[in-house]
Structure 1
């Protein structure tokens, strides 16, 4: 009553174990290739220089607060026109609005806003602006004296408040 012994390659369990190993190798190889080919951009290479610059940023925001500078930004979702109403003592001819994407630095943009009258500035944003962005507003000069910051999720029909040192939108109220 002996049972015939089948060769190992005709049995289920060796192939199951080989399949698990092959799947683990292929998944780990795929992740290794993806990690080498894609750069996430999250780590700062010159973090020490950025750390030293924080005092300059705080001084710019303190200057904006001392001069009572703030702004209300609106983006027309159809025409992508930017309208900024700036309050306070400052009235430079041009402002730079930096749109900073939270996770991908290659998506960051700098837009120029031109003074038209009584603290109103106009500019043009890219079409179909989407997702969440950090905003920084500074005068267009070699060494800007002040800075306003904000945060927005586009598209939006509401105004975005730019303040010295605190990101806020009209939805916060």
Structure 2
């Protein structure tokens, strides 16, 4: 008697349509999630601007030679700079020297965020007679910053990478070896 009851139960279960069982739905869930994720990724790719690609890459490539000449001028002047960020006062402090003497002319300091160009900062500073400067700077994000310092006439340039806040300060030197 039990075998006929179990046969009836088995035939009852197998006679139900496929969509009444949970296993086909569970098996289809993975591919459905992948399709939805693909559609979402495609939407993100087409609606967000890629900040790492520049429109004038050809002009920037041609300008590399000019940049190298500015580095050579900085090396001939034996330029050195040190920069540190004091988060408690919200100030960028630094010192610039050429041939051991302080640099007193105005400078442009660029802090370029590694991935978000809207967070880039350009500062105009005027060092004092000792070559020291201090300028207000909003809170820096935890990031790897490209630091560039140029003279007023853009005839020289110092640059380096600053991993804030791992590095509390950065030393820029024209004669460093990469």
TM-score range, shorter chain: 0.7 to 0.9
Q: TM-score, normalized by length of structure 1?
A: 0.81
**What is the CA RMSD across the aligned residues, in angstroms?**
2.6
Task: Specify whether residues 28 and 93 from structure 1 end up closer, same or farther in structure 2 by C-alpha distance, changes over 3 A only.
Answer: same
Which segments of 5 or more consecutive residues in structure 1 lack a partner in the other structure? 169-173
What residue number does 2:159 align with?
149
Structure 1 ranges of 4+ moved more than 4 A? 165-168
Which has more radius of gyration?
2
What residue number does 1:119 align with?
131
1:46-65 superposed matches below 5 A: 46-65=56-75
Task: Specify whether residues 166 and 40 from structure 1 end up closer, same or farther in structure 2 by C-alpha distance, changes over 3 A only.
Answer: farther
- Tell me, yes or no, if the aligned pair for 2:109 and 2:150 is still in contact at 8 Å: yes
What residue number does 1:163 align with?
173
By how many angstroms is 1:115 displaced? Answer: 2.0
Deviates further, 85-94 or 106-115: 85-94
CA distance in 1: counterparts of 2:110 and 2:91, whole angstroms? 15
- Tell me, yes or no, if the aligned pair for 1:75 and 1:156 is still in contact at 8 Å: no
Which among 1, 16, 28 is matched to residue 26 of structure 2? 16
CA distance in 1: counterparts of 2:112 and 2:18, whole angstroms? 60
Q: TM-score, normalized by length of structure 2?
A: 0.79
Other structure's SS at 1:93 match: coil
By how many angstroms is 1:44 displaced? Answer: 2.4
- Tell me, yes or no, if the aligned pair for 2:111 and 2:147 is still in contact at 8 Å: yes
